[in-house]
A and B are shown apart, each in its own frame.
Chain A
Amino acid sequence: MSAIQVDKIAKTYSRDKLVVPVLNDVTLSINEGEFVALMGPSGSGKTTLLNIIAGIDRPTSGRVSVLGTDIAGLSESELAKWRARTVGFIFQFYNLIPVLTAYENVELPLMLTPLTKEQRKQQVETALRVVGLADRMNHSPNQLSGGQQQRVAIARAIATDPDIIVADEPTGDLDKVSANEIMTLLERLNKEFKKTIVMVTHDPSAAERAHIVRHLEKGDLLPGEERHENA
């Protein structure tokens, strides 16, 4: 079953009087439980496509359906609620809140749920255990290495148990060892926890860990896909 259905979306940005096309009639279908990597040179539109799928950007035209919801039709506040429920975010630079501890960072998206404090505690501890940082929950981000910070960010992304995880260059700021750990963790989330993952990456070795790799160039989604059966 298709978890994400992107139909002929286009995206343009207007700068002064100049209209810059970023995506041109992109159509893409991602099934539930798939792990898809989007690759392409800078400016190819891969991050824009990811942002549109994640509901933090809107297409200029076209339709995006995620788990049966036409997200282009949602209002700003509906979209915020939808993101909180449905999508977990992993960013290149982790984007942890520096004044909060690892525990509090992971708890943040849970503040938007009706869970009690005790229920939130259980969820946070579970998420931090999954990423192997249960013993660092009281550390602030600046007390953690880059790889550890990204693992906290992954714990934050899975804390609300969303169906979809979007990752924008999750290994882009990490050394090889840490990058490998992060990719292993993403694979585990996909296989063990059945998360649908859409990842933007420049890193071919990271892309190899995905089931499917799609390439974008100058706003177009290139036909054909790389499938990694071993992934």
Chain B
Amino acid sequence: MKIPFKYILRNFYSRKLTTTATVLGMTLVVVVFTVAFMMGMGIRKTLSVTGSENNALVVRKSSQGEISSIINREVADIISSLPQVAKSSEGKPLISTEPVVIFIQPKKGGGVSNLTVRGVTPVAFQIRDNIKLVEGKTFGFGSRELIVGKSISKRFNGVAIGDKVKLAGDMWTIVGVFDAGGSGFDSEVWGDSEQLLSAFQRTSYSTITFRLSDPKQIEQLKLQFDADKRLKQFTPEIERTYFSKQSNQTSGFIMGLGVFITLFIMVGAIIGAMITMFTAVANRTTEIGTLRALGFTRGSILISFLFESLLLSVVGCVLGLLISSTMSSMEVSTINFQSFSEIAFNFTLNIYIVLGAFAFSIFMGLVGGFLPSWRASRLKIIEALRAA
């Protein structure tokens, strides 16, 4: 491009109002796009670090989530005797049979939301070694006590240590707060597996989690489940992989919705950019004629106006990313569609979202700027000069 960059830049600054309005339109698009993807990625990130790579989690086939899975005690006994289940130093199988239920609790900001309650056995703390008690004490096995994840203690009322919550008609006491390292377990309430079963008058578990003697054997284990008529209604999966897959529907929905809204606003932003650039061409018709008379080609004019439009979109993109990045340390929550319960997560900005935002912006700049730029380049010199 022969037309100097300072010509483009100074024209960009010279019409402050329209430039600002157009840039803000682009910024809005980028903020909506990035926030939606930061939410989606945040959910994925949270659930992808939930559980362990060394554990297998067994659910009933075709169950949409843990709460819709049912595994009876006979099956649990069969699974605990499988050779793939690792043993403790005392020779006991490292297996946790877990009922998973949900209950409603009021939120601090108003309203109510579902909370996941997971019944665990003492082994659960051995096979999920990132669970750390940060306040109070752990629940007593055999007693109606609960501990809450740190995200829950921040976001819900009535879950402080000493508070009592009503669960299956009984009152349960909150005795501690645990930190699960930013994973999905931070959004759960844990108690004694057997106490929960008796309170809810259930005889079956929801899921079974056990430490694999060799995590590489998971595929072989799946085949073994399929081949065994007692187990073929169930499927094992690496625990972390299972929770990671659980994030897909929720994060996919949020990101899809984000793209949908972005596309709508984008049409407005493109029209805004187009109007700005058409106005720029109309106001600078004589300049275009002069530049062409001096020897600048149609191509140079096209590129210079297109560049100006791209500048609008790139500045809007940078501004949008700056606004979005301020949210990256913010913790929010949403309903996980798989568990129907609240999950807390942080907005996560990564390089793919940044690149996506730039791609969207460049697209907006090119589409919005092309027609005006094309018109500018096709102006007849003498007609453009007559506009003086």
Task: Using CB atoms and an 8 Å cutoff, list the residues of chain A in contact with chain B.
Answer: 51, 54, 56-57, 76-77, 80-81, 83-85, 89, 91-93, 95, 97-100, 104, 107-109, 111-112, 156
Residues B296 and A112 in contact, CB atoms below 8 Å apart: yes
Given contacts A97-B290, A111-B4, contact A80 B382 (CB under 8 A): no
A230 CB, min distance to chain B CBs, angstroms: 32
- Looking at chain B's contact residues, the main secondary structure is helix
B307 CB, min distance to chain A CBs, angstroms: 15
* Assembly CA distance A95 to B291 (angstroms): 9
Residues A109 and B286 in contact, CB atoms below 8 Å apart: no
B102 CB, min distance to chain A CBs, angstroms: 63
B227 CB, min distance to chain A CBs, angstroms: 74
Residues A100 and B382 in contact, CB atoms below 8 Å apart: no
- Looking at chain A's contact residues, the main secondary structure is helix
A74 CB, min distance to chain B CBs, angstroms: 12
B289 CB, min distance to chain A CBs, angstroms: 8
Confirm or deny: B385 has a beta carbon within 8 angstroms of a beta carbon on chain A: yes
Given contacts A95-B385, A97-B7, A99-B10, contact A109 B294 (CB under 8 A): yes
* Assembly CA distance A84 to B293 (angstroms): 8
Q: Give which listed residue, B2, B286, B296, contacts A95 with CB less than 8 A.
A: B286
Confirm or deny: B45 has a beta carbon within 8 angstroms of a beta carbon on chain A: no
* Assembly CA distance A157 to B4 (angstroms): 18
Closest to B4 in A: A111
Residues A104 and B6 in contact, CB atoms below 8 Å apart: yes
* Assembly CA distance A92 to B7 (angstroms): 22
Residues A56 and B292 in contact, CB atoms below 8 Å apart: yes
* Assembly CA distance A63 to B189 (angstroms): 92
Confirm or deny: B134 has a beta carbon within 8 angstroms of a beta carbon on chain A: no
B120 CB, min distance to chain A CBs, angstroms: 69
Residues A93 and B6 in contact, CB atoms below 8 Å apart: no
| Chain A residue contacts of B6, Cβ below 8 A | 99-100, 104
Closest to A111 in B: B2
Confirm or deny: B14 has a beta carbon within 8 angstroms of a beta carbon on chain A: yes
Residues A99 and B7 in contact, CB atoms below 8 Å apart: yes
| Chain B residue contacts of A109, Cβ below 8 A | 294-295
* Assembly CA distance A114 to B385 (angstroms): 27
Confirm or deny: B297 has a beta carbon within 8 angstroms of a beta carbon on chain A: yes
| Chain B residue contacts of A111, Cβ below 8 A | 2-4
Closest to B297 in A: A80
* Assembly CA distance A171 to B388 (angstroms): 15
Residues A91 and B2 in contact, CB atoms below 8 Å apart: no
| Chain A residue contacts of B298, Cβ below 8 A | 76-77
Residues A83 and B293 in contact, CB atoms below 8 Å apart: yes
25 pairs across A/B with beta carbons < 8 Å? A51-B382, A56-B292, A56-B293, A76-B297, A76-B298, A80-B296, A80-B297, A81-B295, A83-B294, A84-B295, A89-B293, A89-B294, A91-B385, A91-B388, A93-B286, A95-B289, A95-B385, A99-B10, A99-B11, A99-B14, A100-B4, A100-B7, A111-B2, A112-B2, A156-B294
